C-alpha cells in the first residue's frame, strides 16, 4: 500500500514548541536523532517490564554509519519502532509529541528517564539534509513502514521489508554539509553530545565483536559515592576533560529529593594565579548533554571549576528566560552552592592539613565565590585562611584572637571594645621586607595577602563585618608596639628634609621606633585603595600623597643637624631614596638620583 499527502503543521500547536526549542549549533541535530533512538529503547524496556512486550536477547544500542559515496548518514536503534499510524501521528503531524502520549498512557508505571522530544527533534535533521528517510518496524504485529520527505511539507509513506524491530533514520546530507560525512567528525560529535547516553552508541558498526562504543553508559556521577574510589574520580576527570593534571579534590552531588540531581564538581589545579581561568561545567538531562556553563543553573563562580551535572528536572531544550524565572532551577542552583560549601567546611574540620595544602589552588576561587554570592560567604567565612608572617595558615578569628563573626553588640562595655579589630596584611613580601622585619621583631601579627583578588576581597570582608574587622597594609601605619614612645616634632629637622627633597606634597612626621632604620614611607590605607581602584579603571595615575616617617631612634637621623648644608642635603635625599625603595619601585627620576648618590659615595670612598 502506498500513500501520499501533506505534512500537517498546526500553528497554534507549533508555537509553544518553537518557543521552547533553540538550535544555536547546527551539529546538535545528531544529539536529537540519537536521543530519539535512546528514547525509543527506554520506552520498549518499560513495556517489557510491564509485560506488554518481549525481549529478543539482543543488545540495546544505537548504531551510526556513514556512506560517503551515497552521501548518507544513518542512525539505527532497536527500540519499540512505529506503526504506520504512529508515523503519521508522531512524524507527519509535528504538533503531537510521542513521549507526551506515552507518559500519559503509562504514568502509573513510572515515566522517569524518558527524554520525550520525538517529533520536532526529528526535524532538526533537515538542518543538514536534503531529504530524510525513516525505516521502522513496531514491536506490535504490524507491517514495517518507509517514510520519506524533502522537508517541503510533502511526504511519502509505504510498506517496506524491514525485518527487525526498531527505527532507522537515513539522512541524505546536503552538498554544503559534507563535514557530516566524515567519520571522525561524527565520532567527535558523539563524544561531545552523547558521551553518557544510557545505551551503547557505535559508529560504523561492523558486528564482528570488536566494536567499541564511544560512550560511557554508567558514568561515575550516576553511582553512589560510597562505591567510587579516588582513582575512579581521577580517571573520570581525565577522560571527561582531557586534563592530565590531577584535580586537587572534588564534590560528588547525589540527591533524589526534593529534586533529582547528580554530578561531580572538580577543583582543578590553578595554572595561572594572575587571573581566574574559566572552567567547564557540563549540564546533562538524563545523561543527554544540554550545554556547557549554563549560568542560570550553575552559579557563576562555580563555572571556574570543571564538572558534570545531570538534572532530569531541567527540560532538555528550554529558553534561558524560562530558566531564569523557574523557582525549581533557582533551588537547584542554591543546592549546588550549599554542597560545595559543605564540602569545604568538612575538609577544613576533618583534614585541615589537606585543606591548607589545597589552599593556594582554591583561594582565588573561594574568594571570588564569596564576592559573587553572599550566602556562600556567610557559610564559609570562618574557613577562609591566610599565611601569617611565619608561614602558618590562620583564619581571621585566629589572627585577632576572637570570633569576629559573632555579634557581640549587646555585651560591648566601652568604646574601645566596640572598635573593629585591625588585621595587618602584606601585599608584597619582598617590597615590604623592612616592614615585615619590624613586625616580626615586635612579635606582631600580619597576613600575606598578595593575589590579584585580595584588594577587592578584603574590602568585601570589611563590608560584610561592619565594626568588627578592618584591614591595614603593613606600611599604612605604625602600631604602638613598634614604638618606644611618642615622637617629638622637630621643625628644624623637618625643614632640612623638605628643602633637600623638594617635594611639597610630602608630609613629614617623627616617631621613636624600635627599629634603627632611618625613615619609612607610609600612605593612608583607604586613600591608597581608592587610588588603586581609580588606576585600574583608568581614572587616575596612581599617584599618592605620602608621609615620610623620620625615625628619631636612628643615630643617622640624630647626627644630621651637625653636618654642613651640602652633606645635610645629600643624607636627607639618600634617606628618602632608601625609604622609597622599601616602599615601592623607584621611578626613572628617583632611580637616577639614587644611582648618582651611590656613585658619589663610591667616589668619596675611593678618595
The model's pLDDT over 226-276, given as tens digits with 9 standing for 90+, comes to 999 999 999 999 999 888 888 988 999 988 877 788 999 998 876 555 445
CATH code: domain of residue 169: 3.30.565.10
pLDDT, residue 413, reads: 45
Which residues are CB-contacts of 501 (< 8 A; sequence separation ≥ 6)?
572, 573, 576
pLDDT, residue 596, reads: 80
121 versus 376: the higher-pLDDT residue is 376
| Residue 375: inside a domain | no
| Residue 213: inside a domain | no
* 449 and 352 fall within a common domain: no
pLDDT, residue 73, reads: 96
92 versus 209: the higher-pLDDT residue is 92
pLDDT, residue 94, reads: 58
552 versus 315: the higher-pLDDT residue is 552
Does the structure show a pLDDT above 60 at 211?
A: yes
CB atoms near residue 522 (< 10 Å): 22
* 328 and 443 fall within a common domain: no
Domain boundary, last residue among 342, 369, 396: 369
End-to-end CA separation in angstroms for the chain: 117
pLDDT, residue 317, reads: 53
* 362 and 384 fall within a common domain: no
Domain boundary, last residue among 173, 203, 233: 203
Q: What is the mean pLDDT of residues 601-605?
A: 72
pLDDT, residue 280, reads: 86
* 147 and 270 fall within a common domain: no
pLDDT, residue 316, reads: 53
Q: What kind and span of H or E run contains 587?
A: none
The DSSP call for residue 60 is P
Give the residue numbers spanning the domain of 481.
380-606
In the chain, % helix, strand, coil (3-state, to 5) comes to 45, 20, 35
Alpha-carbon torsion (455, 461, 467, 468), positive or negative: negative
* 507 and 541 fall within a common domain: yes
| Nearest in space to 35 (alpha carbons), one of 131, 121, 106 | 121
Name the strands in the sheet holding 547-551, side by side, starting at the edge strand that comes first in the sequence: 483-485, 507-513, 547-551, 519-522
pLDDT, residue 188, reads: 92
Does the structure show a pLDDT above 60 at 16?
A: no
DSSP 3-state of 227: helix
| Nearest in space to 34 (alpha carbons), one of 260, 311, 289, 375 | 289
| Separation in Å, CA 423 to CA 420, 435, 436, 486 | 9, 15, 14, 22
Lowest-confidence region among 281-285, 410-414, 548-552: 410-414
Condensed to tens digits (0 to 9), the pLDDT of residues 361-389 reads 889 889 999 999 999 999 999 999 999 99
Percent of the chain past pLDDT 70, that is, above it, reads: 84
* 11 and 155 fall within a common domain: yes
Q: What is the mean pLDDT of residues 323-342?
A: 80
Lowest-confidence region among 34-48, 122-136, 397-411: 397-411
Which range has highest mean pLDDT (172-181, 204-213, 400-409, 488-497)? 172-181
Cis geometry, peptide bond prior to residue 180 (ω within 30 degrees of 0): no
CATH code: domain of residue 444: 1.20.120.790
The rounded mean pLDDT for the chain is 83
Whether the pTM exceeds 0.95: the reply is no
CATH code: domain of residue 296: 3.30.230.80
* 438 and 419 fall within a common domain: yes
| Residue 154: inside a domain | yes
Domain boundary, last residue among 309, 339, 369: 369
* 74 and 180 fall within a common domain: yes
Does the structure show a pLDDT above 80 at 445?
A: yes
pLDDT, residue 331, reads: 81
DSSP 3-state of 342: helix
Lowest-confidence region among 28-32, 216-220, 587-591: 587-591
CB atoms near residue 74 (< 10 Å): 17
| Residue 343: inside a domain | yes
Domain total of the chain: 3
Does the structure show a pLDDT above 60 at 143?
A: yes
* 365 and 388 fall within a common domain: no
pLDDT, residue 314, reads: 72
| Residue 62: inside a domain | yes
Does the structure show a pLDDT above 50 at 298?
A: yes
Q: Distance from CA of residue 410 to its chain's centroid? A: 40
Q: What is the mean pLDDT of residues 540-563?
A: 83
In angstroms, the CA 291 to CA 273 distance is 27
| Residue 211: inside a domain | no
Which range has highest mean pLDDT (14-28, 120-134, 283-297, 379-393)? 379-393
Which range has highest mean pLDDT (15-19, 22-26, 271-275, 590-594)? 590-594
Q: What is the largest CA-CA distance in the chain?
A: 120
43 in Cβ contact with 138 (< 8 Å): no
* 96 and 59 fall within a common domain: yes
pLDDT, residue 577, reads: 87
Lowest-confidence region among 204-213, 283-292, 380-389: 204-213
Q: How confident is the model at residue 321 (pLDDT cuts 50, 70, 90)?
A: low
* 52 and 197 fall within a common domain: yes
pLDDT, residue 179, reads: 94
Q: At 35, list the grid cell.
A: 536521543
Q: What kind and span of H or E run contains 181?
A: none
In angstroms, the CA 277 to CA 291 distance is 19
pLDDT, residue 114, reads: 39
| Residue 209: inside a domain | no
| Residue 147: inside a domain | yes
125 versus 76: the higher-pLDDT residue is 76
CB atoms near residue 349 (< 10 Å): 10
* 277 and 365 fall within a common domain: yes
**Per-residue DSSP letters for 538-592?**
TS-------EEEEETT-HHHHTGGGS-HHHHHHHHHHHHHHHHHTTS---HHHHH
Lowest-confidence region among 379-383, 456-460, 572-576: 572-576
Amino acid at each position: 500500500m502506498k500513500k501520499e499527502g501533506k505534512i500537517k503543521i498546526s500553528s497554534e500547536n507549533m508555537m509553544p514548541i518553537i518557543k521552547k526549542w533553540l538550535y544555536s549549533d547546527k551539529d546538535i541535530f545528531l544529539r536529537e536523532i540519537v536521543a530519539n533512538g535512546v528514547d525509543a529503547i527506554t520506552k520498549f524496556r518499560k513495556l517489557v517490564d510491564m509485560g506488554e512486550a518481549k525481549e529478543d536477547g539482543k543488545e540495546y544500542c544505537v548504531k551510526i554509519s556513514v556512506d560517503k559515496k551515497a552521501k548518507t548518514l544513518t542512525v539505527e536503534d532497536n527500540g519499540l519502532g512505529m506503526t504506520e499510524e504512529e508515523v503519521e501521528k508522531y512524524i507527519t503531524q509535528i504538533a503531537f509529541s510521542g513521549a507526551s502520549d506515552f507518559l500519559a498512557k503509562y504514568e502509573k508505571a513510572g515515566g522517569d528517564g524518558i527524554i520525550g522530544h520525538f517529533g520536532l527533534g526529528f526535524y532538526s535533521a533537515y538542518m543538514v539534509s536534503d531529504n530524510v528517510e525513516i525505516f521502522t518496524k513496531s514491536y506490535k504485529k504490524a507491517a514495517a513502514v518507509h517514510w520519506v520527505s524533502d522537508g517541503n511539507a510533502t511526504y511519502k509513506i509505504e510498506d517496506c521489508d524491514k525485518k527487525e524491530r526498531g527505527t532507522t533514520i537515513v539522512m541524505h546530507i546536503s552538498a554544503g554539509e559534507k563535514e557530516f560525512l566524515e567519520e571522525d567528525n561524527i565520532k567527535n560529535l558523539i563524544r561531545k553530545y552523547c558521551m553518557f547516553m544510557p545505551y551503547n552508541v557505535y559508529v560504523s558498526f561492523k558486528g564482528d565483536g570488536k566494536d567499541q562504543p564511544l560512550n560511557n553508559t554508567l558514568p561515575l556521577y550516576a553511582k553512589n559515592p560510597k562505591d567510587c574510589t579516588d582513582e575512579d574520580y581521577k580517571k573520570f576527570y581525565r577522560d571527561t576533560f582531557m586534563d592530565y593534571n590531577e584535580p586537587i579534590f572534588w564534590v560528588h552531588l547525589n540527591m533524589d529529593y526534593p529534586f533529582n540531581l547528580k554530578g561531580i564538581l572538580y577543583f582543578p589545579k590553578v595554572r595561572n594565579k594572575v587571573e581566574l581561568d574559566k572552567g567547564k561545567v557540563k549540564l546533562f538531562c538524563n545523561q543527554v548533554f544540554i550545554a556547557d556553563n549554563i549560568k542560570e543553573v550553575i552559579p557563576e563562580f562555580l563555572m571556574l571549576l570543571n564538572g558534570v551535572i545531570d538534572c532530569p528536572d531541567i527540560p532538555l531544550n528550554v529558553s534561558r528566560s524560562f530558566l531564569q524565572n523557574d523557582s525549581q532551577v533557582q533551588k537547584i542552583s542554591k543546592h549546588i552552592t550549599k554542597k560545595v560549601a559543605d564540602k569545604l567546611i568538612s575538609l577544613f574540620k576533618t583534614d585541615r592539613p589537606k585543606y591548607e595544602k589545597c589552599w593556594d589552588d582554591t583561594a582565588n576561587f573561594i574568594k571570588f565565590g564569596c564576592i559573587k554570592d553572599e550566602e556562600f560567604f556567610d557559610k564559609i567565612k570562618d574557613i577562609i585562611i591566610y599565611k601569617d608572617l611565619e608561614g602558618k595558615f590562620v583564619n581571621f578569628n585566629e589572627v585577632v584572637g576572637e570570633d569576629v563573626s559573632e555579634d557581640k553588640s549587646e555585651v560591648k562595655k566601652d568604646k574601645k571594645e566596640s572598635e573593629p579589630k585591625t588585621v595587618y596584611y602584606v601585599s608584597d613580601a619582598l617590597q615590604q621586607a623592612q616592614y615585615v622585619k619590624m613586625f616580626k621583631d615586635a612579635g606582631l601579627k600580619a597576613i600575606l595577602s598578595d593575589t590579584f583578588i585580595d584588594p577587592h576581597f578584603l574590602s568585601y570582608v570589611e563590608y560584610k563585618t561592619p565594626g568588627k574587622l578592618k584591614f591595614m597594609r603593613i606600611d599604612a601605619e605604625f602600631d604602638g608596639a613598634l614604638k618606644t614612645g611618642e615622637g617629638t616634632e622637630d621643625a628644624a629637622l623637618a625643614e632640612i628634609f623638605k628643602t633637600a627633597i623638594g617635594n611639597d606634597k610630602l608630609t613629614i612626621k617623627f616617631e621613636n621606633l624600635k627599629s634603627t632604620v632611618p625613615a619609612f614611607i607610609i600612605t593612608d590605607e583607604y586613600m591608597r585603595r581608592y587610588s588603586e581602584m581609580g588606576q585600574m579603571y583608568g581614572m587616575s595615575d596612581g599617584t599618592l600623597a605620602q608621609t615620610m616617617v623620620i625615625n628619631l631612634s636612628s643615630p643617622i637621623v640624630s647626627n644630621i643637624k651637625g653636618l654642613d648644608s651640602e652633606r645635610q642635603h645629600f643624607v636627607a635625599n639618600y634617606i628618602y631614596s632608601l625609604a622609597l625603595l622599601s616602599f615601592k619601585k623607584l621611578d626613572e627620576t628617583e632611580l637616577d638620583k639614587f644611582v648618582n648618590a651611590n656613585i658619589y659615595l663610591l667616589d668619596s670612598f675611593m678618595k
